[in-house]
């Protein structure tokens, strides 16, 4: 299946309406939903990621591209479900208990979503029990924990410990991030990975999923 | 309920750039134990926090021990260095606002240490207490009702009773909209948050804080900070996630929501992380706290020197109680701040305050868009534009326009170097400003579909 240039450009330029229209037109012309994703949407997001890495794009362009991708996916998801297909990776993300900061977590969530992952955002001040419940119910492959305060860093360990106690730890990869966290702390608390920024988090998820 | 503005600033308290100095303001403030701010000297304001640890009933004794230790060590170092005065700032952590009695308990500990130092060493001092704005615990946040607001209000009251001299907050009203707009670079959304919603919350919230202070004689309503707005933008720009020029324009526009605290009766000092403070000072003539190079322990800023140019308190923002070679970090940063202030005060005594201010300005001014909008000249231009307009919305737009003008002039003059991408964003921001409706009602209507679901209208009197 050839690349759909209209869809590719719409995502690259962050135009959700055009992405939606291009997807509709492609489906009407008989395009394969998974083919549209693999040949047009994922390459467009890869290019968006490249432009961000070389500082041609800022986060707004990145998120607008993600929003355009999402608007196209809204048309494709029902078709994928009907065909027994689903998004490859599901991620649960949240800011840990005691911490109300969420802009960093929101950026990571949006960028992950824009990269084609299914993201379940639990919000802020999420208790270990709620993370455990989300893993049990939604069966994600990855859990992302965010904290901004030094005094809420321990809640990251408590969450990982709760996943262990519930017997769920081996089923998910756990990533941590936030201003006071570093890779050493991630290792100390038994996380699988750490990123100091949102784009790094996306790369980390891709790597971890590829390894799994 | 829409709260009426208590007082309106229609002219500048400091109209002359040469009178716009650090350590001095038209309305000095007596506070705490013998301290007067803005009467000629700059004093250190030391802010400190816990090392990584949980705050629970089980760890509470350990938490209190940390604050006992930090206060004792900070004041010991301050006395050793013969500081002419000092302010301690206690920023409550969320758990300490959720449990108002906890915040009050720490407040009492700190005040006990300050009182002892005042009695024993005649140290002039004051305690600023800053509860956490916990009103955004649910989506959309309920800002004027509900349990979080009740606990926040109780926290203010108990801390006032426990010995706070100055009450402050880093309020977050409209952040639920601003965060979203900022992330997507949606300029009308940013203006809506900063110029329509935030001033409404600030007006309401600060009328409450001022009334709490009025009920506790000697307790001063200090000021707020656009930390959750402009500092968020600044940090994201530093990480190359947002354009620097957008963050600089957000800074200028955030002045209007922070000014609302003073309009309701706040007397200063505004919060240390309120880099918009100089605009407050120019308009109100009241003292401000600032942070710069000596707050590198807490976060990056491109404003290390210029931030000090017009400060009355000089702060370290926040430092954890961890061990360094010469002592624990809070006392180490007390020493750093003490020497910063000593130099500024010595320059003033020698008649060199203006020269030092200009050197601090020149060293940063054109190296970043953030600094370019914070020079004394730029600050006065932004302040003048704000007081010339009637409504917060128009003031916000006017501040944004001036910031764009300042940045463009810097580029044309060859002083400010912007990448092609940054210049494109500056042009985009200017075009967005031109396209904004004249009245806020039109903007509210236009953005209803996009942002209406993110905020609670009653929380803003809408």
pLDDT tens-digit map of B337-347: 999 999 999 99
> Are residues B343 and B54 in contact, defined by beta-carbon separation less than 8 angstroms?
no
* CB spacing of A103 vs B134 below 8 angstroms: no
Same domain assignment for residues A106 and A205: yes
Contact flag B179-A106 (C-beta cutoff 8 Å): yes
CATH number of A60's domain: 1.10.1240.10
Ranking A35-44, B128-137, B227-236, B250-259 by mean pLDDT, the lowest is A35-44
Do A99 and A68 lie in one domain? The reply is no
**Measuring CA to CA, which residue among B159, B170, B145, B164 is closest to residue B99?**
B159
What is the pLDDT, as a whole number, of residue A85?
Answer: 66
pLDDT at B159 over 60: yes
For tokens 């006065």, what's the residue? B380
CB atoms within 10 A of CB A139: 12
Q: Lowest mean pLDDT of A82-86, B1-5, B140-144, B386-390, name the range.
A: B1-5
Q: Say yes or no: A195 contacts chain B, CB-CB below 8 A.
A: no
Return d(Cα A86, Cα A89) in angstroms, integer.
Answer: 9
The β-bridge relationship of strands B86-91 and B43-47 is parallel
Under an 8 A CB cutoff, do B183 and A198 touch? Answer: no
A102 in contact with B, Cβ within 8 Å: yes
Same domain? A21 vs A38: yes
At B1 the pLDDT is 45
Question: Which residue, among A150, A153, A157, A195, would best test binding to B if mutated, counting the most B CBs under 10 Å from its CB?
Answer: A150
Interior CA angle at B355 toward B354 and B360, to 5°?
Answer: 100
Do A143 and A61 sit in the same domain of this protein? no
Residues A102 and A48 in one domain: no
CB of A72 closer than 8 Å to CB of A18: no
Count of structural domains, chain A: 2
Integer angstrom CA distances of residue B445 from B16, B203, B211, B254, B394? 40, 22, 33, 22, 16
pLDDT at residue B400 is higher than 70: yes
Q: Do B94 and A149 touch (CB under 8 A)?
A: yes
The pairing of strands B313-315 and B43-47 is parallel
Domain boundary among A82, A111, A137: A82
**What residue ranges do the domains of chain B occupy?**
17-460
pLDDT (tens digit per residue) in B254-298: 999 999 999 999 999 999 999 999 999 999 999 999 999 999 999
B311, B45 Cβ separation under 8 angstroms: no
**Residues of A (118-157) whose Cβ lies below 8 Å from B:** 123-125, 149-151, 153-155
Q: Same domain for A36 and A138?
A: no
Work out the average pLDDT over B63-75. Answer: 98
Encode pLDDT of B410-427 as tens digits. 999 999 999 999 999 999
A26 lies in the same domain as A69? yes
Q: Which domain holds residue A27?
A: 5-82
Based on the fold, state whether residues A187 and A156 are members of the same structural domain: yes
* pLDDT number for residue B209: 98
All residues of chain A having their beta carbon less than 8 Å from the beta carbon of residue B232 are 103
Which of B54, B62, B229 to mutate to probe the A interface, most A CBs <10 Å? Answer: B54
Residue A105 and residue A78 in one domain: no
Contact B185 A55 (CB under 8 A): no
Strands B43-47 and B327-328: unpaired
CA atoms within 13 A on the CB side of B114: 29
Q: CB–CB of A198 and B241 under 8 A? A: yes
For residue B451, give the H/E element and its range: helix B440-451
Strands (E), B205-342: 220-221, 289-291, 313-315, 323-324, 327-328
CB count in 10 Å sphere of residue A5: 10
Whether residues A99 and A145 fall in one domain: yes
Q: What is the mean pLDDT of residues A152-173?
A: 95
Closest CA to B157 of B219, B98, B204: B219
Residues A95 and A188 in one domain: yes
Which DSSP state fits A121?
Answer: E
Of the candidate ranges A26-35, B78-87, B400-409, the one whose mean pLDDT is the lowest: A26-35
Residue B5: band (very low, low, confident or very high) from pLDDT cuts 50, 70, 90: low
Contacts of B49 (CB under 8 A, 6+ apart): A150, A151, B91, B93, B318, B319, B320, B321
Q: Is the dihedral of CA A128, A132, A135, A138 positive or negative?
A: negative
Q: Any chain B CB within 8 A of the CB of A32?
A: no
**pLDDT class for A104, splitting at 50, 70, 90?**
confident
Closest-CA distance, B220 to chain A, in angstroms, reads: 27
Domain stops at, among A26, A48, A82: A82
Question: Which residue is closest to A54 within chain B, CA to CA?
Answer: B240
pLDDT at B23 over 70: yes
- ipTM score of the complex? 0.87
Judge whether residue B175 has pLDDT over 60.
yes
B interface with A, Cβ–Cβ below 8 Å: 49-55, 93-95, 132, 134, 136-137, 139, 179, 182-186, 232, 236, 239-243, 299, 320, 419, 421, 425
- Are A103 and B183 in contact (CB < 8 Å)? yes
pLDDT at residue number B2: 47
Lowest mean pLDDT among A85-99, B14-28, B183-197: A85-99
pLDDT at B270: 96
At A102, the pLDDT band (50, 70, 90 cuts) reads confident
């Amino acid at each position: 299946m050839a690349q759909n240039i209209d869809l590719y450009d719409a995502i690259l330029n962050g135009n959700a309406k055009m992405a939606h229209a291009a997807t509709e037109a492609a489906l009407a012309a008989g395009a394969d939903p998974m083919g549209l994703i693999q040949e047009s949407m994922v390459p467009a997001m890869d290019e968006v990621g490249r432009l961000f890495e070389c500082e041609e794009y800022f986060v707004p362009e990145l998120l607008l591209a993600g929003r355009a991708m999402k608007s196209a996916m809204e048309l494709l998801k029902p078709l994928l479900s009907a065909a027994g297909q689903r998004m490859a990776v599901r991620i649960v993300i949240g800011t840990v208990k005691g911490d109300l900061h969420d802009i960093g977590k929101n950026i990571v969530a949006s960028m992950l979503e824009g990269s084609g992952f299914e993201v379940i955002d639990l919000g802020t001040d999420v208790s270990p029990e709620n993370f455990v419940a989300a893993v049990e119910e939604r069966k994600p492959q990855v859990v992302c924990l965010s904290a901004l305060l030094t005094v809420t860093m321990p809640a990251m360990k408590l969450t990982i410990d709760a996943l262990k106690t519930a017997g769920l730890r081996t089923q998910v990869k756990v990533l941590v991030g936030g201003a006071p966290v570093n890779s050493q702390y991630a290792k100390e608390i038994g996380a699988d990975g750490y990123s100091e920024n949102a784009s790094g988090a996306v790369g980390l998820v891709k790597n971890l999923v590829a390894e799994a | 309920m829409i709260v009426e503005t208590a007082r309106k600033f229609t002219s500048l308290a400091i109209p002359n750039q040469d009178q716009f100095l650090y350590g001095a303001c038209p309305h000095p403030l007596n506070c705490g134990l013998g301290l007067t701010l803005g009467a000629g000297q700059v004093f250190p304001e030391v802010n400190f926090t816990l090392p990584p640890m949980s705050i629970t009933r089980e760890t509470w004794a350990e938490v209190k021990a940390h604050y006992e230790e930090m206060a004792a060590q900070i004041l010991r170092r301050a006395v050793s260095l013969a500081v002419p005065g000092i302010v301690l700032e206690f920023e409550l952590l969320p758990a300490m606002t959720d449990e108002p009695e906890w915040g009050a308990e720490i407040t009492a500990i700190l005040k006990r240490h300050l009182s002892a130092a005042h009695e024993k060493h005649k140290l002039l001092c004051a305690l600023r207490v800053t509860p956490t704005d916990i009103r955004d615990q649910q989506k959309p946040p309920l800002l004027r009702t509900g349990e979080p607001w009740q606990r926040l209000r109780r926290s203010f009251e108990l801390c006032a009773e426990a010995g706070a001299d100055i009450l402050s907050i880093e309020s977050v009203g409209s952040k639920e909209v601003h965060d979203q707009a900022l992330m997507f670079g949606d300029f009308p959304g940013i203006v809506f948050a900063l110029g329509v919603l935030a001033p409404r919350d600030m007006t309401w919230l600060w009328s409450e804080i001022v009334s709490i202070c009025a009920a506790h004689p000697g307790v001063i309503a200090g000021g707020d900070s656009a930390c959750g707005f402009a500092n968020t933008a600044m940090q994201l720009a530093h990480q190359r996630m947002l354009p620097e020029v957008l963050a600089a324009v957000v800074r200028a526009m955030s002045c209007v929501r922070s000014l609302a605290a003073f309009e309701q009766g706040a007397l200063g000092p505004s919060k240390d992380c309120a880099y918009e403070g100089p605009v407050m000072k120019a308009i109100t003539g009241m003292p401000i706290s600032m942070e710069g190079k000596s707050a590198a322990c807490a976060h990056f800023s491109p404003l290390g020197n210029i931030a000090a140019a017009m400060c009355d308190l000089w702060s370290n923002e926040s430092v954890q109680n961890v061990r360094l070679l010469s002592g624990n970090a809070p006392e180490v940063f007390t020493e750093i701040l003490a020497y910063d202030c000593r130099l500024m005060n010595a320059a003033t005594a020698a008649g060199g305050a203006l020269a030092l201010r200009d050197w601090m300005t020149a060293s940063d001014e054109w190296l970043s868009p953030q600094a370019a909008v914070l020079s004394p000249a730029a600050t006065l231009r932004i302040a003048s534009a704000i007081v010339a307009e009637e409504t917060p919305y128009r003031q916000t737009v006017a501040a944004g326009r001036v910031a764009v003008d300042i940045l463009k002039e810097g580029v044309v003059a060859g002083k400010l170097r912007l990448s092609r991408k940054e210049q494109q964003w500056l042009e985009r921001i200017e075009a967005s400003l031109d396209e904004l409706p004249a009245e806020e009602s039109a903007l509210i209507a236009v953005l209803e579909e996009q942002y209406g679901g993110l905020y609670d209208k009653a929380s803003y009197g809408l």
